[in-house]
Chain A
C-alpha cells in the first residue's frame, strides 16, 4: 500500500493508504480530524472543503495520494491558541449555522474567498458559495457572517 505524507495543520502527517483512499477518509479515519464532514460524497455539497496549498478543494473528490507533499489545512487548523479565526467568530456571532453540518466547509470556503477578495460584495459572496450547500439557514446569516468577517479582518 502507498505511504503518504503531507503537512496537516502545520504538523507532519503520514500513513499507509490504498490508492483509492480519499483525502477526507485519510483526515477523518487515519488522523482523527473529524471536523471535516462528508455530506453528499459527490463533490456538490461542500461539507468536506479543506485547503490544499492554500486553495479550497473538496476533499471527498481528491485522493490522499494526490495530496502527497502538500500543505493541508482543515477546520481544526484555523484557530490559533484557542482564539477563533475571524470567520469562525463571525459565524458564531451572526448565527451563521443551525445544525452545523455544513459549517466546517462553509468556513473553509469563506476563508479562501477572503484571502483572494478582502471586500467581497454580497452577490460575490453568494456566487462564491455555489459549491457549499446549507439546508437549514437559507444562507442569509452565513452571508452576513462572511461580510462581518471581511470587515473584522480589515481591522
Chain B
C-alpha cells in the first residue's frame, strides 16, 4: 500500500473542505473495498478522508412512508435494525447476505453504493425499491444514480449522506452468491409499492439494471408464472471464471422468480 495522509473530520463541512484541499483525495467509510484496493496498489490517493466519525451520517429512522438510512450505517446495523426488519424485511435480508459478519460490522451502505461494484447487493436493493440517494448537495433518484461499472452520478467531491427508501407493499431479494466472496453472481430485487413494480438485477451486467418486460408482466399479475417465459438476452452480460453470460442470463430468470415467490 502506498502511503497517504489520513483525516477523520467531525462534520460534513470539514470533510468537504479537507477533500477539496487534497490533490487527490478519496472518501472512506468502512474501507472494506478501499483498503484491499489500496493494498493491491490499484489506487494511490494522496489523502484519505474517513467519514466514520461524523455523527449525523449514521442511523436508521422511519420517516412517514420511507425508511431513512444514514450513509455510514453498517450492513450489520441494517440487518439487525428493528425498523428495517419490520418495514422492509427484504432490505434487512439483503444486508445480512453481504460478505461475512466481520465485513458487515465495518462496511457501510453509503460506501457500497458510492463504489457501485457491479456485483454488489445494495445497488439492486436501492434501484429495486426505488430509493432516493441524498448527498451534501442534492437528492438523486436511484434510477439516475447508478450510471455504469463503478460509476455513479456523484460529482467530484460530492458526499453521500443518506438513502431514503420507500416502504414497499411487498419485496424480496434473491441472490445466487459466489460461494467464496458472497458477491452476487446474480442478485434480483423485486418490489411492488409506491415506486411501482420493479425488478432490479445486480451481478449479471456491467452495472445494475431493471427488466422492463418482467415489471410489466408483474404489474398485471404478481406471480412467478407471469414471468416464466421472459428471458434476458445474454449479449453484453458479464462472463468470467464464475459464470458465462448465458448462465447469468438464465440465473436472472431463476432469481427473479424466486424473489417474486418469496415476496408473496
Contacts and interface: CB of A to CB of B under 8 A. Distances in A.
13 contacts: A19-B3, A19-B48, A20-B1, A41-B39, A43-B102, A55-B76, A56-B101, A56-B105, A57-B106, A61-B36, A66-B50, A109-B101, A130-B100
Interface string A14-32: 0000111000000000000
Interface string B83-124: 000000000000000011111011000000000000000000
A43 B99 CA distance: 10
A70 B162 CA distance: 25
Given A61-B31, A65-B6, 20 more contacts: A2-B6, A19-B6, A41-B39, A43-B35, A46-B102, A49-B102, A55-B76, A57-B102, A58-B103, A58-B106, A61-B32, A61-B35, A65-B50, A66-B31, A66-B50, A66-B52, A109-B102, A113-B101, A130-B100, A131-B101
B100 A46 contact: yes
B150 interface: no
Interface in A58-94: 58, 61-63, 65-66, 68
B182 A130 contact: yes
Interface size class of A (residues with CB under 8 A): 20 to 34
B6 A55 contact: no
B6 A131 contact: no
Interface in B1-53: 1-6, 8, 31-32, 35-36, 38-39, 48, 50, 52
Nearest to A108: B102
B180 interface: yes
Interface string B120-152: 000000000000000000000000000000000
Nearest to B106: A57
Interface string A34-53: 00000001111010010000
B101 A128 contact: yes
Nearest 9 interchain pairs by C-beta: A131-B100, A19-B6, A130-B100, A20-B1, A55-B105, A58-B102, A65-B6, A131-B102, A61-B35
Interface of B: 1-6, 8, 31-32, 35-36, 38-39, 48, 50, 52, 76, 99-103, 105-106, 180-182
Contacts of A131: 99-103
Contacts of B38: 20
Contacts of A61: 31-32, 35-36, 106
A41 to B, nearest CB: 7
Given A61-B31, A63-B35, A66-B52, A56 B102 contact: yes
Contacts of A43: 32, 35-36, 102-103
Contacts of B6: 2, 19, 63, 65
Contacts of B181: 44
A152 B105 CA distance: 26
Contacts of B182: 130
A41 B106 CA distance: 16
A64 to B, nearest CB: 10
A49 B48 CA distance: 24
